[in-house]
Every structure is written in C-alpha cells, then in structure tokens.
A and B are shown apart, each in its own frame.
Chain A
Amino acid sequence: MTATPTAAAPFTTVIGLEVHVQLQTRTKLFCGCSTTFGAPPNTHVCPTCLGLPGSLPVMNRTAFELAVRAALALGCKIAPFTKWDRKNYFYPDLPKGYQISQFDLPFSSEGALEVVDPKGALSRNVRITRVHLEEDAGKSMHDEAAGTGDTRIDLNRAGTPLCEIVTEPDLRSPQEARAWLNELKLLLVYLGVSDCNMQEGSLRVDANVNLHIPCDGGRIAKTPIVEIKNMNSFRSVERALVYEVARQYEEWQATKAEMGKTPKQTRGWDDPAGVTRAQRHKEESSDYRYFPEPDLVPVAVSDEWLAATREAMGDPPSVLRQKLAATWKIPAYDADVLVNQGRELVAYFEDLAERVGEGKVASNWMQQDVLRTLNERGGSIDAFPVRPATVADIIGRVAKGDFDTSRAREIFAEVLGSGRTVDEVVASMGIAAVDDDELITLCRELLAENPRVVADVKGGKEQAAAGLIGQAKKKNPNVNPGKVRAMCLDLIRQM
C-alpha cells in the first residue's frame, strides 16, 4: 500500500474508478428486446432501440430495482425523486443521437465500499460518489485490415441497462484498485445485479489516476489527471495503473507539468504492448447539452419500496463474512475464502456445517477437499456430485472412529470419482470397522514383537508408542491409529 510517500515511492498515487455494469435483466432498459449476449447482429432490435422516428422508451422496472439494489448494497443514499436526462452526441452506435442517462438527479449517491483483506494488509474505505442508471450503446466494428473500409454497426446491445458507479479518488495503489474491483464484482454477483462478465462486456472499468508529489516547502504538486480506458480485465486495470503511475512520475520529473494547466487526458491501455497511449482529443465532444428526457416520467422511491428491496436483497459479502465467522466459529480467513467463492458455495458450507455440528471441521473439509476438487473439475458447486449429506456422513464416521481422516479423504475421492455410495466404497476398499477383540489381539502381537518399545514406554517415554502405529497399519489398514496407541499404552501399563 502506497498510502504515504516513502523513499521507494516518493509520492501518493490517487485513483478513482468509473465502473459500468450491465444489469441482469431479460429485456433492455426501454424496450422488450432481449439482452442475451452473442446473438447475430441486429436481431435484438426494435423501433425503440433503433431510434426510429416516433419510437418511445418505457422504463424496465426490474432494471430500476436491480440498480437500487446495487446502490443500497454500496451504502448509497437513494434519492426520493429521480429523473432521466438526454446526453446529446453523435455516434453511429447511438442511434437516437443521445443517450438516456442521469445528470443532476441520479437515483443514488454518497455510498462506500471497503476493500476487505482479512490479513489486514489492505483495508480502505472507498467512497462512492454516485450510482446512476443509463442505457448502453451499440457496437461499432471496424476491420483494421480493411484499411479505410466501412464501420459496421450492430445495435443488439443498444439500450441494455447499465449501472454507472463512480468512486471518489480514494484508492491509493493499483493493487488496491484491483482488490476493490474484485470486491465490487463479488458484491454485484452476490446480489444478482450483474454477471460482471468482462469478456462479454457486462463490466467495464475506466480509471482516473494522478500523483500527489510533495515538493520543497511542504507544497504538494498534483500531476494532470489521466483517464485510462480499454482495460478488459482486472489484471489489466492493475497493469495499466502500474504503468501509468510510473509514466506520470517520469513525465513529472521531466516537465513538472501540474493539474489544471493542461486539459484532462484520455489514454487507452494497449494490453499486448503493456503501455497506455494518448487518445485523440475531440474538441467539442464534451458539450453534451444535457436536458430532462421528456419521454420518461420521474421516479419517486417510497420508504416502503426501499424497505421491500432491502428485505429481498440478502446479505452482501461483507456482512456474510462476519455472520459466517460468528455463527460457525470459524476464523475470518476461512469465512473470507468461503464467501469469495459465491453464494452457492456458502449455502453448501452452511448445510454441511449444520449436519456436522462443527464449523471448523466443515470449513476444513470445504477448503481442503470440496474446493480443491471443485477447482480441478470446474463447474458450479450446485452441480458438484458429492452433496453435503455425503460429506457429513464421511466426517461422522471419522468421529465415530471407523477410520481416520486420511482414509476419509480417500473415501471422499473415491465417492466423487466412482459415483458410488459411501457404504459401497467402504466395502470395496475392504474398510471394515476393527472390533475391540481384534484390536487387543493385534496390539498384543505388536507388543510381543517390540520389547524395546515396551521398555521405553515403561521408562516414561510414551511417545515411543508412535512407532507401533505404522506396524499396526501394515497388519490391518483399517485400524484407527489413535485407538491402537491408547490400547497399547493400556496394555503396557497392565504389564
């Protein structure tokens, strides 16, 4: 964390993010066209999203409610009255010549989302300036190879609902920005607001960054703010910011150029090259001539509506982590790992923990066996063939002493691989509970064969009994090592 200037980084990095997420609705924001990704070009279009003469928008209720859900989860204030505005500019992927967005009365503002790290190395409260609801543009496709050819326009995406989330410049390092984005994504996916799939464009990030550099006399020089675009993964956000921080520092050392003396610059991230490049500046494009959208009516959100939305929303990850740790008495680290895997995995864990009756044991199994094999196999936890009841069954047999944990792991793997029941697997592996008579006979044999161990134990070195376990397992792989040890010690004491 580069919170304060140090010798290594003699400046403070200041980052703010602007995130656009597509809301998980079935239809577009203002018309009944499908939002499904990947359809053939211009098949999900109608007069409204084509901007045909005379067409009108009507607001999708689900889109508005999902946006409110996101804002509530980000701790934002929900405006009692909100309206939409037209942002006017010409671009071929914007068929009306304006985007319906929100200007001066966004539906929410003033929230915050903390970057959480249970280890405490990274923790920062990032303020949210505003969250608003707007429509997406279509897609322009230009074949670079074709040189000066035409640009092809596909309007399937035009009118898809977007939530724009703008942060204050509260992030202090590229790593922190990435961690924060991970937390934001987790939150939005948890709440069913968005699938946040960056490959499909359902989450897009622009970053504003500059440096605060202490100068002689205590003055702080601020480098010109640069907006970085075209980052298509959280990793590239981090890389682009790392690059840009270094570039700005170099440039500052060379030019001493400060904020306000040059216009805000937009730079595009070139991922293969690993550099940001200045983008062409459009001189008049910033005069968007916003004015209230006369085709839509305002929305007033009542307290009842808000309460109902809150109720239906479920816990955000931050609350869930605390609840999991407290309810199941598991360490913060465990809660973090489980929650970060998503809501379905948490449900699986809670089911398992309930059955096992011991959170930490369930958590260990989740992390060491369930999660590891799930990651190897791929797919979702809901489709994972070994259900919590089965895992709980295996854990229960360990507790009863039927077999030890390492044997249990083999059984788990076999159940997963073969699709057979625990009983079938236990039988097929020849694992039968060793009864006490058998155990006494086995231990007596062991002691007879190991007079040295018997002598050592009698001499007070109880740990010497450990040497018997391996031999016991050779004689019968199904013996419980703990029981063998206890039995042997008992027998020696009786000798």
Chain B
Amino acid sequence: MSLSRNDVAKVGLLARLALSDADLDTMTRELSTIVGFVGQLEQIDTADVAPLAHPLDTQNVFRADVPKPSLTTAEALQSAPRHDGECFLVPAVLGDTGAA
C-alpha cells in the first residue's frame, strides 16, 4: 500500500499538522512503509469476528448528578497562551459551526 503525496497532504490538514514540502516527502515515504506493514492484517481471516474496541467487559458506570467544585477562572486560564482574564482568546473564528 503506498500513499500519494496528495493523500498525505489531505491527512495533514485533517490532523491540523502543517507539513513543509520536505515533511511531505518524508512523511509520504514513511507512512507508505508503515501502512504497508500494518496492511498485513488483511491476510488474517476475520469473517464472523466481532471488533473488540476495549478490553473491559464492564457496563453502566455512572456518577450521581451532584455538583462538584469547579476551578477558578484563574486556574482555568493559567496555561492559556492568550486570555483576557475571562475568556480564552484565539484567532478570529469566522462563520459558526460548533458542536451538534
């Protein structure tokens, strides 16, 4: 399995990693090798095998709906690269997506 430079560039954007031209060359070569290696799994017969995403069999772990102390705003912002004492500051977000 070999990846194209273009594939790698797309993944780089999806992963939000700036890749220089030289990075792209290296990454394309290395990822192709690694993807080729992990691709060997293809040869294992997994028909009728259910995926196993997690080693635990436990279920239904909940907590009670009881408030706990929050951090102070100062603690919340203590490692922020930029803030105004109330909010985190990031470069302009234009257009609104947001969750949901």
Total chain A interface residues with beta-carbon distance under 8 A: 66
Contact with A along B32-72 (1 / 0, CB 8 A): 00000000000000000000011010111111111111111
A26 at interface (Cβ–Cβ under 8 A)?
A: yes
B1 at interface (Cβ–Cβ under 8 A)?
A: no
A61's contact among B65, B70, B92, by CB below 8 Å, is which? B65
A455 at interface (Cβ–Cβ under 8 A)?
A: no
Complex Cα distance, B58 from A298, in Å, reads 8
Interface residues on B, range: 35 or more
Looking at A92, A141, A154, A296, which has the most chain B CB atoms within 10 Å of its CB?
A92
Residues of B within 8 A of A20 (CB): 100
A376 at interface (Cβ–Cβ under 8 A)?
A: no
Contact A284 B60 (CB under 8 A): no
A67 at interface (Cβ–Cβ under 8 A)?
A: no
Contact B71 A47 (CB under 8 A): yes
Contact A291 B53 (CB under 8 A): yes
Residues of A within 8 A of B90 (CB): 92, 150-151, 153
Contact B62 A280 (CB under 8 A): no
Contact A26 B99 (CB under 8 A): no
Contact B100 A33 (CB under 8 A): no
A134's contact among B68, B71, B73, B100, by CB below 8 Å, is which? B100
Residues of A within 8 A of B10 (CB): 284
B59's contact among A26, A154, A291, A298, by CB below 8 Å, is which? A298
Residues of B within 8 A of A91 (CB): 93, 97-99
- Shortest B9–chain A CB gap in Å is 11
Contact A204 B91 (CB under 8 A): no
Residues of B within 8 A of A291 (CB): 53
Residues of A within 8 A of B91 (CB): 150-151
- B residues 1-21 near A (Cβ < 8 Å) are 10, 13-14, 16
Contact B97 A282 (CB under 8 A): yes
A363 at interface (Cβ–Cβ under 8 A)?
A: no
Residues of A within 8 A of B53 (CB): 291-292, 294
A62 at interface (Cβ–Cβ under 8 A)?
A: yes
